[in-house]
Structure 1
Amino acid sequence: MTAPFATCDFCDAFKADTSGDFRVLPPVFRDFGGRQVFCGPVQTVQCLDDNSRVKEAVESPGWIDTPAGRVGKVLVVDGGASLRKALLGGNLAAAAARNGWAGVLVDGCVRDVAELEQQAIGIRALASMPLPTDRRQQGVADVPVRVQGVWVRPGDWLYADRDGIVVSPRPLL
């Protein structure tokens, strides 16, 4: 279990940071999951209107083992801010929760909103869209991505609560 945190406290502590290490995502993401507060090390997927790599990721173990115990990861999906098709739905969210993921952040759309709310996982996305993707095995995993203009890299730590989402190259707790 992760210690309690507040993104506002992180922002207060790092407001003078000019290194670019501490990053704040714009307030454009809606909350869709069963958990509003989540954090963990980042794994990334970059895809456009094809959730093949998202499916592969959430069907794999969603945690890392640390000296302090098992920690759930956060999947960050750079969907190019597309509003055309949903990159995550009820079945994939259930797989993510089952496989120990702490959260999924989608720079794009999700579907099956009622099902997403039932999952014990944090889910943030731009909007809901009932149209699914076609799986064409396109996209890449584990690469630096730009989400709403902010760089997010594999291994970064993402923290999300009701006030916002922040990213750091190292754990903040």
Structure 2
Amino acid sequence: MIKTADLCDDFADQLKVCTLELKSYGGKKRFSGPISTVKVFEDNVLVKQALETIPTGHVLVVDGGGSRNCALLGDRLGAIAEERQLSGIIIYGCVRDTADLAEQNIGVMAIGSNPLKSIKKGEGESNTLVQFGDVDWKPGHYVYADEDGIVIAENELPVKN
């Protein structure tokens, strides 16, 4: 299993470390993969569209503007990600249905939880550079996440299992 601490030991010069501490909500505590992105604010329509269309194995990075006013992901969207075998979801925003997310075989990290659902206007951007946690999240770059944190590399790293 890939550990971010080991990646930092071996590839520190190739990594950016996310300085925002996110909480793990999914059943998988460690996950990695190519980055796909959406940028939204209190609206999860594009989150659902991305989960339904991005390639298997990808990590969806959601820039929700850090809002704690509502959730951008719950058990239904988590089930879509699990069914499509996505690697994980990282949200600069909140989730809900946390007990159910913990049972799903998907990595989910977010700043917190809120039981209120989001609005449904479909506003935002997809597949674009997003920025939070002192890092640039670029589509196609690689993210590695575990209990110690999150690191980003421009390319997939040649890791030993």
For the aligned pair, the TM-score class normalised by the smaller chain equals over 0.9
| In 1, Cα distance between equivalents of 2:125 and 2:65 | 13
- Which among 3, 6, 9 is matched to residue 6 of structure 1? 3
Give 1:1-173 correspondences, 5 Å limit: 4-15=1-12, 17=13, 21-63=14-56, 72-173=57-158
TM-score for both structures, normalised by structure 1? 0.88
Confirm or deny: 8 A CA contact 2:98 2:113 kept in the other structure: yes
Confirm or deny: 8 A CA contact 2:40 2:63 kept in the other structure: yes
Letter in 1 for 2:48: K
Following superposition, which runs of at least 4 residues in structure 1 exceed 4 angstroms of deviation? none
Please list the CA deviations of residues 39-91 of structure 1 after superposition, one character each: whole Å capped at 9, or x if unmatched: 0000000001001110101122541xxxxxxxx11000001111111000010
SS in 2 for 1:44: strand
Task: List alignment gaps of at least 5 residues for structure 2.
Answer: none
The verdict on how the C-alpha distance between 1:164 and 1:12 changes in structure 2, with shifts beyond 3 A counting, is same
Number of aligned residues? 158
Confirm or deny: 8 A CA contact 1:62 1:102 kept in the other structure: no
Displacement of 1:27 in angstroms is 4.7
| In 2, Cα distance between equivalents of 1:76 and 1:149 | 14
Letter in 2 for 1:151: D
SS in 1 for 2:80: helix
| In 2, Cα distance between equivalents of 1:84 and 1:28 | 18
TM-score for both structures, normalised by structure 2? 0.94
Displacement of 1:11 in angstroms is 1.1
Confirm or deny: 8 A CA contact 1:46 1:139 kept in the other structure: yes
Letter in 1 for 2:113: S
SS in 2 for 1:158: strand
SS in 1 for 2:94: strand
Displacement of 1:163 in angstroms is 1.1
Please list the CA deviations of residues 121-155 of structure 1 after superposition, one character each: whole Å capped at 9, or x if unmatched: 00000000001101101011000000223111000
Please list the CA deviations of residues 88-130 of structure 1 after superposition, one character each: whole Å capped at 9, or x if unmatched: 0010000111011110000000000011011100000000000
% identity of equivalent residues: 41
